[in-house]
Chains A and B, each alone.
Chain A
Amino acid sequence: MSEQIINITWFNVVLTSLLVLGAGICSVYLKLHLEKELVVGTIRTFIQLFLLGYVLNIIFSLNNPLVILLMFSFMILFAARIITGRVKERRIPYFLPVLGSMFLSYMIINFFVMSVIVQVKPWYKPIYFIPIGGMIIGNSMNALSISMNSWFEGLKKERDRVELYLSLGANPVESSRSNFTDAVKSGMIPSINALMSVGIVSIPGMMTGQILAGVDPLIAIKYQIVIMLLLVGSTAISTVFALHIVRKMSFTPNEQLNL
């Protein structure tokens, strides 16, 4: 396992673009109109990952907790912006509260994993903190946008029922209890499904990466197990946290639906 990882040449990386060219030909032939997206997407992948490689190199060499936290915050900020793009509701200004709840829950979870589970010293060691943090953010970002959409759509669809409950003396929590649980569940199901299928249907990316980098698969699986469980936990915590705030914002101070 001490074999050095093969460094792919840039020429060969570019050669992979031929596959995208194949996709482009399909798009033209089948009139999918995806050519522009394919070109932009490919260029963005090159630029974004190229920049990430450099930024990570700098951050790893600086090893400064403030810089690492700044990078982590930037990743969360970007994820929160992606969520607002995916959630269809526009009237409720949930961006800042969601950003706050994401930051708080991801910090707590990442700190716990670094210091208690992996026992990295110092806890912010960037080669652990940033990739694991990124996985947490990426996964719960998806869960959060699914949950938020489910919450808003559920409330709009059930407006009559919610208003009936309110008019009969229910408080906002009571009137939207089923919507809240449905929203949390819909966000959590993908990560629970992943628990069921991991190792059978899919070999997860992190484990693949570690194995390619020469790590013993038996060590790699331990990391993967930690990550899988971590993702379920972080998804649940951040979703519940954010939805609590969004629920408050979905009702007026007079306990009326605000949608």
Chain B
Amino acid sequence: MSSYILKLENVSFAYKAENPVFTNINAEISENELIVIQGESGLGKSTFLKLFNRFCELDEGRILLNDRELKEYQIDRLRGQIIYLPQLPFMIDGTIEENLSFAFDFQAHKEKTYNSPKAEEWMSYFQLNTKLNENALKLSTGQKQRIALIRALLLEPGVLLLDEPCSSLDRKNRELIEKKIESLTSESKVTVLMATHSEVTFGHSNYRKFTIKGKKLQGEEPQEAGMA
């Protein structure tokens, strides 16, 4: 078993063949790592995240999750393991608890059960003072973003893909959520890949930055030069 949870080998992707988004990307991501993916809008940050849960399909190369190619996993099982959170949190019409528990009915999570006390724990971790029986649609965007994170975390994924989770939040909410995301990787067994167009407030030693430039992924540290 390798030390990394995700490995990209010569990955290329294009929506249109004549205009590739990425060419020949190589990278390794270790368990419990916090990866920040930066780059200007339109360069493919969201696309990069969506390669991992197969919302976008590779044209060339391969991605390994725990030494097995993504294609070898049943798609719904893979998406139960690698959970993607979109920029705008979506709540179903119902209570917070219904929003946190509905995914436990899916086949991909059939061996798991929804645990209300665990949900309460995460609520206090994310400093949410709301009750589980409150209507989720009435929450603020910042609260919804935290509920969306809790919803994913309750499913105990190996990897969380966060697509601009703070872009629609005010400074206070942004700092709170980033702080919580930062400590997530040390407090739970989850690897986080977060796309953002702005600077993050994470402590420098706690994360690794990838920058998308010229259809390549550039690692911040020299030892990541393998990422082209």
Q: Which residues of A contact B (CB under 8 A)?
A: 160-161, 163-171, 174, 254-256
Contacts and interface: CB of A to CB of B under 8 A. Distances in A.
Contacts, number: 59
B80 interface: yes
B90 to A, nearest CB: 5
B76 A160 contact: no
A169 B90 contact: no
Contact of A169 (B85, B86, B92, B106): B106
Interface string B128-162: 00000000000000000000000110010000000
B213 interface: no
Contacts of A161: 90, 92
A249 B176 CA distance: 42
Given A161-B90, A255-B76, A174 B55 contact: no
B91 to A, nearest CB: 9
B122 to A, nearest CB: 16
Contacts of B54: 254-255
A221 to B, nearest CB: 46
A174 B90 contact: no
A169 B105 contact: no
Query: Top 5 closest A-B pairs, CB basis?
Result: A169-B80, A169-B108, A168-B103, A167-B84, A171-B76
Contacts of B86: 163-164, 167
Interface string B56-83: 0100000000000000000111011001
B53 interface: yes
Given A160-B90, A170-B103, A256 B79 contact: no
B92 A167 contact: no
Nearest to A257: B55
B75 A167 contact: no
B124 interface: no
Interface in B36-50: none
A163, A164, A254, A255 pick with most chain B CB within 10 angstroms: A164
A170 B55 contact: no
Contacts of B75: 171, 254-255
B55 A168 contact: no
